[in-house]
Structure 1
Amino acid sequence: MPEMPEVETVRKTLSEIVLGKIIKEVKVWYPNIIIGDSESFSDQLKEKQIIKVDRYAKFLLFRLSSNLTIVSHLRMEGKYRLASPQDAKDKHDHVEFIFTDGTSLRYNDVRKFGRMQLVKTGTEKERTGIKKLGPEALSDDFTLSYFKQALKNKKKNIKATLLDQDVVSGLGNIYVDETLWLSEIYPERPANSLTDNEIKKLYLAINQIISQAIKERGTTVHTFLDAEGQTGGYQKHLKVYGRAGEKCFRCGNVLQKTRVAGRGTTFCPKCQEVK
């Protein structure tokens, strides 16, 4: 699943190719992608201009004229690409935004898990999945004092807590494993057992890794591509994710893989020892 750095990379590339374009027509080939009535979705978007592309955590926000916003979640494998209405339809193309300039934007999703919802701008946190999210990494709301307080009431393990998105949003399996390794915290430690010093190390690690991953245009491990069809570069810097059985870059011990919170989890048994 694209995580915050990947979605931010998609946002940036989309901004370069769709800003200012006016929607002439919307084709919805797979209505389940749309939350709500797909015909109403298409009708309301006619003659609307794309003013800005924002992001919150893993959600893309297409800001349109007439005070409308398309909230888009890519889920596992959703992708956008600039195309032409005359291009042959790929079997995994599910939505097409046709613009007045003769180009189009297509949404492609092999698993069909992605979703789009049209709402009034400013109501995203009340009407969409964003309302369930905590502050995103790197944001002004994600402070160390907030993070300490939020973890005090969390009895579940720290990996599950970070994956749940309600304490901090934007991290998925890749970056949770990486931040826990960097801060030397065992993935199954109860979140409320972390000391103030450990919480500070984890807080700094989250911001550091997310910042670096954004600079590297995200991580391509399986299928992630940005809106220009380019891969990310952070996979070259991964310390634990995907490296089970290899040596830890910090201590030389062999990295181990287990399952935590239903997800494959790679860690160093020495650097991240059980406490």
Structure 2
Amino acid sequence: MPELPEVEVTRLGFADRIAGARITALRVGKPLRWALAVDPETLVGRTVVGVRRRGKYLLVDLSDGLLMLHLGMSGSLRFTHGLPLPGTHDHFDLVTDLGTLRLNDPRRFGAVVFAADEDAPIAIKLLGGLGMEPLGDAFDFDVFHAGLRRRQAAIKQVLLAGDVVVGVGNIYASEALFMAGIRPTVAASRISRPRALRLHAAIREILARAVQRGGSTLRDFSNVDGQSGYFQLEAMVYARAGEPCRVCGAPIRQFKQGQRSTFFCAICQKS
């Protein structure tokens, strides 16, 4: 599943190029996770003002309204001139005078949803419960630590929930917890202020580094130019079960946590 770094890499790949574009046509293919919620023809003639990100959502601001895009489990975007005719898994085209933005999604868990603004009910439903953004000044440590103190669940599950901090998906939660020396099963409420400070810094560093490396390509993620990400090549624990820890040499362990695979080092993450 594309996580926050992959979504940010996608945004960076086309945001500047599509800004100022005039919409000339929209094509909607097979139904996605949520309906577009507007007649496509009504968007023709509007201008793309810019592209933001909120968690794993891309927000395409229009001269009137916005489009909220989610890549789901297997989605990817392309933005260019001269795309071929839509294929089986091409479910949405935003055609502009600067190029076509196309969503390809084999599993169709992604979505493109229109909202009049961020106060619209559909926007509040999709975005209203998201936690702090981990990249940037909005990621306040005191708020982060207070959020952890209120949660009794395991710290990795709290990170994945997205209501304390948004976008720390499975790969990057495992990596950040390793960097902070925290075992994935410890209750979030038991994490002391010094350890929470290490985790806060680790989340920032891991996600920023992943963006720099173009994200992680474990299966089919690619950016808007069709290029793969490389962060997975330097992962310390994720998908390395049985391999020696790069720090202490102990074998990396794997177990299921909330239906997701968790990877950790029992020596480096003792508590």
- TM value normalised by structure 2: 0.93
2:25/2:95 contact within 8 Å kept = yes
1:41/1:118 contact within 8 Å kept = no
Question: d(CA) in 2 for partners of 1:33 and 1:208?
Answer: 32
1:119/1:127 contact within 8 Å kept = no
Q: In structure 1, what is the equivalent of residue 242 of structure 2?
A: 245
Q: In structure 2, what is the equivalent of residue 138 of structure 1?
A: 135
1:31 Cα deviation (Å)? 3.1
Question: d(CA) in 1 for partners of 2:175 and 2:218?
Answer: 14
1:121 to 117, 120, 132: 117
Structure 2 residue 2 is matched with structure 1 residue 2? yes
Q: In structure 1, what is the equivalent of residue 150 of structure 2?
A: 153
- Structure 1, residues 98-148: CA drift from partner, whole Å, max 9, x if none? 2246x4221110100001111123437953411111111023232111111
- Structure 1, residues 154-182: CA drift from partner, whole Å, max 9, x if none? 00100100000001001100000000111
Query: For residues 95-244 of structure 1, what are the structure 2 equivalents within 5 Å?
Result: 95-100=92-97, 103-123=99-119, 127-244=124-241
Q: CA 1:21/1:249 → structure 2, altered by over 3 Å: closer, same or farther?
A: same
Question: d(CA) in 2 for partners of 1:162 and 1:41?
Answer: 37
Q: CA 1:128/1:117 → structure 2, altered by over 3 Å: closer, same or farther?
A: farther
1:17 Cα deviation (Å)? 3.4
- Name the count of aligned residue pairs: 270
- Structure 1, residues 77-98: CA drift from partner, whole Å, max 9, x if none? 1111135577232110111122
1:36 Cα deviation (Å)? 5.0
Instruction: Report sequence identity in percent.
Output: 32
Q: In structure 2, what is the equivalent of residue 25 of structure 1?
A: 25
Question: d(CA) in 1 for partners of 2:133 and 2:258?
Answer: 21
Gaps of 5+ in 2: none
Question: d(CA) in 2 for partners of 1:202 and 1:257?
Answer: 20
Q: In structure 2, what is the equivalent of residue 50 of structure 1?
A: 48
2:83/2:100 contact within 8 Å kept = no
Question: d(CA) in 2 for partners of 1:36 and 1:80?
Answer: 17
Question: d(CA) in 1 for partners of 2:132 and 2:83?
Answer: 42
Q: Secondary structure at the match of 1:203?
A: helix
Question: d(CA) in 2 for partners of 1:70 and 1:56?
Answer: 12
Gaps of 5+ in 1: none
Q: In structure 1, what is the equivalent of residue 35 of structure 2?
A: 35
Question: d(CA) in 2 for partners of 1:134 and 1:124?
Answer: 19
1:250 Cα deviation (Å)? 1.0
1:92/1:108 contact within 8 Å kept = yes
Question: d(CA) in 1 for partners of 2:97 and 2:144?
Answer: 46
Counterpart residue identity of residue 29, structure 1: G
